[in-house]
Each structure stands twice: as C-alpha cells, then as structure tokens.
Amino acid sequence: MAGCVARGDDDDADGERLDGEPGDGPPPDHVEITDHDLSRAHIRATCTFEAGPGDRENKVQRNIVTGTVANASATPLERVVVDATVYDESETKLGTYSDQTDTLDSMAIWEFEILVFEEADDIETYDVELETLDW
C-alpha cells in the first residue's frame, strides 16, 4: 500500500470541553483556531512506494503544525478542515497542507496536527485558517 503515515496521527476530537454557555448564531461566528505552532523539530514519517518488484520504504523527516480549534457554538460540527500554508523568505508559497476531523461537538476543542512536507530551512513563515466547516 502506497502512502505516508506520521507517528501520533489522531483524527478524533479530544473530548476537551470549553467553559461557559454556547454562543447564539451560526457556527462560523463561534468556531476559531485558538492557538497554533510550527514545530521545526522533525517528525519522522514512513512512506511506502509501490514501484513494482522491490517496493521500498523510505523514512523522511518533516515539520508539523499543531494547534487547537474551539467550537463555542451550540451546534455540533460534522466536518472541520484546517489548512496550513508555508512560505519561504521571499514570501513565496511553498505549499498548503491540511488536517480534518469528522466530529466536533458543541463546546468542544479539537487538537490538529498537520504534517508539512517542506524542508525546515526553507520555511520562513506560515499561516493557518479554517478551510471548511460543515454542520
């Protein structure tokens, strides 16, 4: 099977809860990325390449963007996608990478982990955004 798997991947919401009462109105008004960080410490991933006879497995080291999304709305979410875009020192976009969860309850927090396939030395800045919210 071809593909890459990073250690520690977890697609489920953590079950952490927010304090207070849910906000009134549609979810986009009350869902936000509450923190994020680009780890330049390398994360090891194993990639298997199906190339016919002699399939091989390579170990690559890449960076990871971690953070949390808080759903302070009264509505459970069916899908949340977070994008991380990385840029070099001349502000040229190097790539956009994503993580998603299929459930985020009302008043819950989800911790995302986005594997970034760019060399650490090439990344100068990054940004994150909520790409998709379905409810």
Per-residue pLDDT at 24: 84
Encode burial over 87-114: b for 16+ CB neighbours within 10 A, e otherwise.
Answer: beeeeeebeebebebeebebbbbbbbbb
Per-residue pLDDT at 4: 45
Distance CA 129, CA 33 (A): 7
Domains and CATH numbers, the chain: 12-42+63-134 (2.60.40)
With a cut of 50, list the residues of the chain below it in pLDDT: 1-12
pTM reported for the whole predicted model = 0.75
Residue 33 φ/ψ region, left for φ over 0, alpha for ψ in the -120 to 50 degree band, beta for the rest = beta
Per-residue pLDDT at 12: 46
Is residue 75 within 8 Å of 27, Cβ to Cβ? yes
Per-residue pLDDT at 58: 55
**By C-alpha distance, which of 124, 110, 128, 132 is closest to 11?**
110
Per-residue pLDDT at 25: 82
Give kind and range of the element (H or E) at residue 98: strand 93-101
